[in-house]
Amino acid sequence: MATVPISEAERKPLTSITARISRYDELANAPFVGGYPTKESVAALGEEMLFQRSVQSYLWALPALSMYAMKEGSERAFGSGYNVLPIWKRRLNPKTLITTPNFDVIYAMGYLDLRKDGPIVIEAPPALQGVLDDFFQRPLRSECDIDGRRWSGDVGLLGPDKGLGGRYLVLPPDFYQEAPQGHFTFRSRTYGVFVFWRGFFQDPKQLDAPVKVMEQTRIYPLGKEATAESMHFPDASGVPVNMLFPRDSSAFDMLARFIDSEYVDPADMDMRGMLAAIGIIKGQRFAPDLHTRMILDRAARCAGRVVRYIPLEVTANMPGGKYYKDRQYVNEFPPGITPEFAAPALSPTYTHLDTRSGFFTEAYSASPTMAINLPDAGAQYPCAFQDGDGEYLIGDRSYRMHLPAGIPVKLFWSVTIYEAETASGLDNGQQLPSINAMDKPAINSDGSIDIYFGPKSPGPRRNWLATVPGVGFFVILRLYGPTLEFYDQTWKPSDLEKVGRT
């Protein structure tokens, strides 16, 4: 049989693959003499084991690492305690460095310590939408049925109080006493608890109403309402604060602080063993030597790149990983996965770790409403990293997104632009890096709307979001209360299409 020669075009990728694999060949063939490793092999294999365990520990802990970075960043700027609930009273802007914030609602974020304060009561006011997550960003679960069902995470309009307000009791993971009646009782799987309120407005110039609602929140230790600290609602708007997780060796110092402060969940013993192998052990000082620190730094930087790769190539290529077969929009919460990233959703047998890591590199907090596909309820978040040609979005170029008439939402829509490297809001020189329905954007004669992206304005009366030359970006189209036309795809946004040259 004749041998078919390999073309030069076929040979190049094979050569590249061979070059990459050669490193693994070196490890697989590390010299042993008489069945024992040489000194050089001991050093090489030991460093490789430390590197691999560090990378995998980073990926596993990313939800907690991100949350702890948010907590520490917030506490540096606004103080700590169950009674401190920062509110972005004039909306959040890019001075707050945090993953994919929504600039078109009012935010409040607080952090509880159940180890220090024990069970906590949260008096949630009416007319807000909230989430209670543990520090692995898993929705808290109700202790028993409420109105015939178990609730998970949601508070307010989508929670058991149905938007009327109510008292929520949050129990620590190791609380075994009988809980008092008269509360919506939830249990956390970590001592740390994230309190996340969202308030909606109809006029960007009238923000007092949702802020006043949030300022009705009361949080105090169970049984200590009369002696509790008074609530403090600092205005976080415009305050420079870094709430992003580290991507260097300091990530492991932060992870050590988290592990030292947290409940030892029996389900985490194997991963805690991985952490112990790199020197992170509850109750012990984390003090890596210089050589170890250098490897940890490279592991963190590698993991930081891996988690950026996941949504672009792993999540996007999963079943349901793109919203449309003929569009580039990624669904970072693909169907078939629970709000805790268990899969398959109907009968979970494992945690989808890749999707979880990819999601939490670009977002924070998970709740059931993020994982439902129900017309008129919840929200959807089509995310574009690439233009219609499949090329990554870059700030040097100009693009147009076309939104056909009749955008299918019960509440409102928005288009927001984020920095590719950090997933925080793109600091593009505009007041806010977003355009939403309440901004009254220019409408075409047929009722459609065009959104432009680029370093230069496309002209007056155009809906323009500025980009920064040399800086990659991505775009999220938020749809609140998406209607049937979104789900049956009789309405579809265009990809971001290149416009002219810049």
pLDDT of res. 128: 87
Tokens matching residue 439: 């901004």
The two three-digit tokens of residue 271, written as one number: 């991963």
**What does each of the 502 residues of the chain score in pLDDT, given as a tens digit?**
455 555 565 555 656 666 677 888 889 999 999 999 999 999 999 999 999 999 999 999 999 999 999 999 999 999 999 999 999 999 999 999 999 999 999 999 999 999 999 999 999 999 888 999 999 999 999 998 888 888 998 999 889 999 999 999 999 999 999 999 999 999 999 999 999 999 988 888 899 999 999 999 999 999 999 999 999 999 999 999 999 999 999 999 999 999 999 999 999 999 999 999 999 999 999 999 999 999 999 999 999 999 999 999 999 999 999 999 999 999 988 888 888 888 888 889 999 999 999 999 988 988 777 667 778 777 899 999 999 999 999 999 999 999 999 999 998 899 999 999 999 999 999 999 999 999 999 999 999 999 999 999 998 888 999 999 999 999 999 999 899 999 999 999 999 999 985 4
In the numeric block, the tokens 């004749």 are attached to 2
Whole-angstrom Cα distance, residue 423 to residue 433? 12
pLDDT at 1: 47
φ, ψ of residue 122 in degrees (nearest 5): -120, 115
Count of C-beta atoms within a 10 Å radius of residue 382: 22
Identify whether the C-beta of residue 474 lies closer than 8 Å to the C-beta of residue 420. yes
- CA distances, 374 to each of 126, 377, 380 (Å): 24, 6, 10
Nearest-angstrom CA–CA distance, 65 and 246: 8
Task: Report the pLDDT value the prediction gives residue 296, as an integer from 0 to 100.
Answer: 97
Instruction: Give the pLDDT confidence score for residue 339 in this predicted structure.
Output: 83
- pLDDT of res. 13: 61
Q: What is the CATH number of domain 76-242?
A: 2.60.40.1610
Report the C-alpha gap between 278 and 291 in whole angstroms.
Answer: 12
Dihedral sign, Cα of residue 195, residue 123, residue 173, residue 262: positive
Count Cβ neighbours within 10 Å for each residue of 182-201 and write b for 16 or more, e otherwise.
Answer: ebbbbbbbbbbbbbbbbbbb
Neighbours of 249 (CB within 10 A): 19
Q: Flag whether the pTM goes above 0.85.
A: yes
The reported pLDDT for the residue numbered 103 is: 94
pLDDT recorded at residue 17: 66
Q: Are 62 and 307 in contact (CB under 8 A)?
A: yes
Return the pLDDT at 14.
55
Q: Could you tell me how far CA 38 lies from the centroid of its own chain?
A: 45
Longest alpha-carbon distance in the chain: 90
Which residues, 6 or more positions from 36, have their beta carbon under 8 angstroms from its beta carbon? none
Fill in the DSSP letter of residue 13.
H
Report helix, strand and coil shares of the chain as percent, to nearest 5. 30, 25, 50
Q: What angle do CA 481, 486, 490 make, to 5 degrees?
A: 150
Number of neighbours of residue 36 by Cβ within 10 angstroms = 9
255 Cβ partners below 8 Å, 6+ apart? 57, 58, 61, 64, 65, 68, 275, 280
**Which pLDDT belongs to residue 502?**
45
Residue 206: strand, helix, or coil: coil
Q: How far apart are CA 189 and CA 141, in angstroms?
A: 9
Q: Is 356 helix (H, G, I), strand (E, B) or coil?
A: helix
Per DSSP (E only), the strands in 304-462 are 342-343, 350-351, 379-380, 383-384, 399-403, 413-419, 434-436, 449-454
In the DSSP assignment, the letter for residue 130 is E
Judge contact between 228 and 121, C-beta under 8 A. Answer: no
The rounded distance, in Å, linking the Cα atoms of 149 and 303 is 39
Distance CA 62, CA 240 (A): 23
Domain spans of the chain, in order of start? 76-242
Cα→Cα distances 454→93, 163, 383, 441, Å: 19, 40, 18, 17
Per-residue model confidence (pLDDT) at position 135: 97
